[in-house]
Structure 1
Amino acid sequence: MPPFRHFPGLCMSNIQVRPATLRDVKAIAQIHTLAVQQAYRGLLPDEYLQAQKPDERQAYWREAIEYCEPQVLVAVDAEKVIGFVGYDRSRDPKSRPTTGEIWAIYAAPSHWSQGVGLALWDAARDGLLEEGCTSVTVWIPLCNERALRFHETAGFKRELATAKTSLVGGVRIEEIRLKRALH
């Protein structure tokens, strides 16, 4: 992937997507925390959401960037990180080697509905194609209607037979895998 991809004209901003560096770790962890807190407000207990701290996510994202697992890209506007995506091969045990996965994709809540997610998705798709992937999956909680709409608009389809239940913050959350071809 080129060092920068430029997305002019998306809602009056100039979003660029580039590979994440260690200098981006703090911003990625803050965006991850704020986006989770905002997206799951009213769906997960307030105590659980308030207990989420960016410092706890920094080690994960630092390691991901250092070892490229997953590969991490950031969206920037005027040098400020406003979103990120982590992608790589699918972690699902029975998936084909040509199946990629979006491990995480988040925009700062202050930049929701401004083209950040689309710019990140386009760059991740290009990266997965370069890796030889022919399809991509993503796991989304069914209660996260915003994320479901985003991915379905991007061409993902629900795989109903994949539904599973996870315990998050003491609450049972139903998740489903979505999938799409990359070409």
Structure 2
Amino acid sequence: MPSIQVRPATLRDAKAIAQIHSLSVQAAYEGIVPQAQLKAMSPEKSQAYWREAIEYCEPQVHVALEDDRIVGFVGFDRSRDEKSRPTTGEIWAIYAAPTHWSKGVGLALWDAARDGLQEEGCTTVTAWVPLRNERAMRFHELAGFKREMTTAKTAVVGGCKIEEVRLQRPLP
């Protein structure tokens, strides 16, 4: 199996990131978000967001590559939560192409994000994960994140309300 390489994203990567984001959301949220809303989440709608994120480094975006093909991405930066400490980082988004789930892509992206957050002086990291997204919940918990159940809130994904919870872990 080819190894996964991770590098900072460039503007040329925005289209591939948007495509992976769309495919991954559609697969990950199947049964959680109605099919009509999932189909409406097109790559064209998120490509501008990812171009801007890459251009302004908010969040920082890295891509995972297998044989020079983008197979996943992660967006990370300081926490967006209002009352968080300046040393708290956040995984804003982490997705692998569904064809590459359980193949080490997420771990490679997590390693890159963790290293980047540590370089920024972060001592803890958080992520918001839908309670019903068992795959994402399991991934984060295997990476050492713990649920903060008192943070549960309702978010809107594709026009549908879902419950999500913040997970947190220290950065060594």
- Name the TM-score class by shorter chain: over 0.9
Q: 1:169 to 1:67 in 2, by over 3 A?
A: closer
Counterpart CA distance in 2 for 1:87 and 1:97 is: 14
Cα offset, 1:166, TM superposition: 2.1
1:33 maps to what in 2? Answer: 22
> Aligned equivalents of 1:49 and 1:170: distance in 2?
9
Q: Does 1:141 align with 2:130?
A: yes
Question: What's 1:3 paired with?
Answer: none
Letter in structure 1 aligned against 2:81: D
The alpha-carbon distance between structure 1 residues 176 and 67, as it changes in their structure 2 partners (threshold 3 A), is same
* C-alpha displacement of 1:170: 5.0
| 1:60 and 2:52 correspond | no
Distance in 2 between residues matched to 1:158 and 1:127, nearest whole Å: 22
1:142/1:16 CA distance change after superposition, 3 Å: same
Q: Which runs of 5+ in 1 are unaligned?
A: 1-11
Structure 2 residues not aligned, in runs of 5+: none
**Once superposed, what is the RMSD of the aligned Cα atoms?**
0.9
Deviates more, 1:41-50 or 1:164-173: 164-173
**What whole-Å deviation, never above 9, does each CA across 1:101-133 have from its counterpart, x for those lacking one?**
000000000000000000000010000000000
Aligned to 2:153: 164
How does the TM-score come out when normalised to structure 1? 0.92
* Separation of aligned partners in 1, 2:169 and 2:41: 31
2:31 aligned residue (37, 42, 51): 42
Q: 2: distance between equivalents of 1:23 and 1:167?
A: 29
How many residues get paired? 172
Aligned twin of 1:6:
none
Q: Read off the aligned partner of 1:145 and give its amino acid letter.
A: E
TM-score under structure 2 length normalisation: 0.98
Q: What's the secondary structure of 1:152's corresponding residue?
A: helix
Residue matched to 1:102: 91
Q: What per-residue deviation string (whole Å, max 9, x for no partner) do you get for residues 42-80 of structure 1? A: 111110001111011010000000000000000001100
Find the residue that maps to 1:119 and give its secondary structure. Answer: helix
| Cα shift at 1:18 | 0.2
